[in-house]
């Protein structure tokens, strides 16, 4: 087995962003977003009592958050890292004096669930799909009595994690959980395997707002190591059927329903690029050698160009290749890739894709 202890969607995001900023040929959508400016670290009202907060990913690796103010309490969407939780806590308090009762982890990754203890200390209970616990048992081995897992690894580089402790969600739902006080309704839904095996989304049917977690991101943030790209495409179909008019992704700016299509199209293109070469009996070596060409093909499509990360795409293509053939790219090829050494030093996505 490959080393995968530090495999998390959050670890290499900073590198992803830097790599993306350095990459040339960004598509129209990405340029438009950059020109439009960013609402990072600001609470934005989406509807009465419904808020979105775009996390500061480039500096702190924070995920996006949402919160809904019910009659008697506040529900927060995603626990974030501890420092991310502490960033939004005063913002929620400034808006509402009501108790924050629940923090919903959209999945088990550190940037979405490691802040659970902060919420507990502030009176909230972490809530999640049962798959989050199953994933934690797989990767948070230290917590469950085994060898140090991802938490311990992350604590080496993040003081906020080192100063807290892992608190798995304690209110669990196998498929769906509804919050409904007659005014607001929030449906927590497990739609299928996607970014992990335990993703769930928060759907607000009255406002037609979807908080997607990392089932949908808006930018070069797709980490595929813990999920399944083929099933993810089908799960995005389920998300599209909800009929959202506003989509708050796990990372990147809030958007409209089209972002679900964009993310899905990106994955379909990944599978098409790899699939046609697999069908043509190309070897792993040949598929690997085609990566620069595939990258060009994807970057030339305005709809999905913003999802293409110069280095991250290697792990994404390898994951797709693994799903199609049962094996990854040969080690000797990757060892010769100059980016690999750099990646290894920073817990690379490239090395991580095979961990799942």
Q: Which is nearer to Zn ion, 27 or 131 (CB)?
A: 131
How many C-beta neighbours within 10 Å does residue 63 have?
34
Among 214, 262, 309, 350, the residue binding Zn ion under the rule CB under 5 A is 214
197 binds Zn ion, rule: CB under 5 A: no
160 by DSSP, 3-state: which?
A: helix
Q: Which of 13, 53, 62, 109 binds Zn ion (CB under 5 A)?
A: 109
Stretch that binds Zn ion, among 2-10, 279-287, 304-312, 313-321 (CB under 5 A): 2-10
Taking CB under 5 A as the criterion, which residues in 284-303 touch Zn ion? none
Structure tokens at 315: 């792990």
- Cβ 8 to Zn ion shortest distance, Å: 7
Measured from the CB atom, the residue of 27 and 198 that comes closer to Zn ion is 198
Q: What is the dihedral of CA 176, 180, 183, 184, to 10 degrees?
A: -40
Phi and psi at 83, nearest 5°, equal -70, -30
CA dist 236 and 194 (Å) reads 8
Q: How far is the CB of 32 from Zn ion (least distance, A)?
A: 25
Q: Give CA separation, 113 vs 15, 93, 263, in Å.
A: 21, 20, 23
Q: Which of 139, 117, 337, 119 is nearest to 223 (CA)?
A: 139
Candidates 7-15, 34-42, 166-174, 272-280: pick the segment binding Zn ion (CB under 5 A).
7-15
> Would you say the C-alpha torsion 68, 73, 76, 81 has a positive or negative sign?
positive
Q: Which is nearer to Zn ion, 216 or 313 (CB)?
A: 216
Asked if residue 277 lies in contact with residue 321, where contact means CB atoms within 8 angstroms, the answer is no
Pattern 243-282, Zn ion, x by CB under 5 A: ----------------------------------------
4, 6, 7, 9: which one contacts Zn ion (CB under 5 A)? 9
Instruction: Residue 49: count other Cβ atoms within 10 Å of its Cβ.
Output: 18
| Nearer CB in complex with Zn ion: 109/334 | 109
Closest approach, Cβ 261 to Zn ion, in A, equals 21
Q: Which stretch binds Zn ion (CB under 5 A): 39-47, 54-62, 207-215, 299-307?
A: 207-215
Instruction: Give the footprint of Zn ion on this chain (CB under 5 A).
Output: 9, 109, 214
């Amino acid at each position: 087995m490959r080393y995968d202890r530090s495999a998390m969607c959050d670890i290499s995001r900073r590198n992803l962003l830097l790599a993306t900023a350095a990459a040339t040929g960004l598509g129209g959508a990405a340029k438009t977003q950059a020109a439009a400016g960013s609402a990072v670290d600001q609470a934005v009202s989406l509807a009465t009592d419904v808020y979105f907060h775009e996390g500061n990913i480039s500096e702190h690796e924070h995920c996006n958050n949402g919160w809904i103010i019910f009659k008697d309490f506040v529900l927060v969407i995603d626990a974030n890292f501890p420092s991310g939780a502490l960033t939004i806590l005063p913002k929620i308090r400034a808006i509402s004096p009501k108790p924050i009762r629940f923090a919903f982890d959209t999945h088990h990754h550190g940037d979405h669930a490691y802040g659970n203890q902060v919420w507990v200390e502030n009176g909230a209970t972490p809530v999640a799909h049962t798959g989050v616990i199953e994933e934690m048992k797989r990767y948070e081995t230290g917590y469950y009595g085994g060898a140090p897992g991802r938490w311990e690894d992350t604590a080496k580089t993040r003081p906020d994690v080192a100063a807290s402790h892992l608190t798995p969600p304690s209110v669990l739902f196998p498929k769906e959980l509804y919050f409904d006080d007659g005014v607001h309704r929030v449906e927590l839904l497990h739609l299928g395997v996607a970014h992990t095996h335990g993703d769930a989304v928060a759907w607000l049917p009255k406002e037609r707002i979807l908080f997607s977690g990392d089932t949908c991101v808006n930018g070069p943030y797709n980490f595929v190591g813990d999920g399944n790209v083929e099933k993810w495409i089908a799960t995005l179909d389920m998300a599209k059927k909800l009929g959202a008019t506003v989509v708050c992704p796990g990372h990147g700016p809030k958007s409209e329903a089209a972002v679900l299509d964009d993310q899905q199209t990106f994955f379909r293109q990944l599978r098409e690029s790899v699939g046609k070469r697999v069908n043509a009996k190309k070897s792993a070596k040949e598929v690997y050698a085609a990566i620069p060409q595939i990258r060009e093909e994807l970057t030339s499509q305005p709809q999905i160009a913003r999802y293409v990360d110069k280095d991250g795409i290697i792990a994404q293509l390898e994951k797709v290749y693994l799903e199609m053939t049962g094996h990854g790219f040969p080690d000797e090829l990757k060892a010769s890739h100059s980016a690999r050494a750099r990646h290894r030093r920073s817990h690379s996505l490239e090395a991580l894709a095979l961990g799942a």
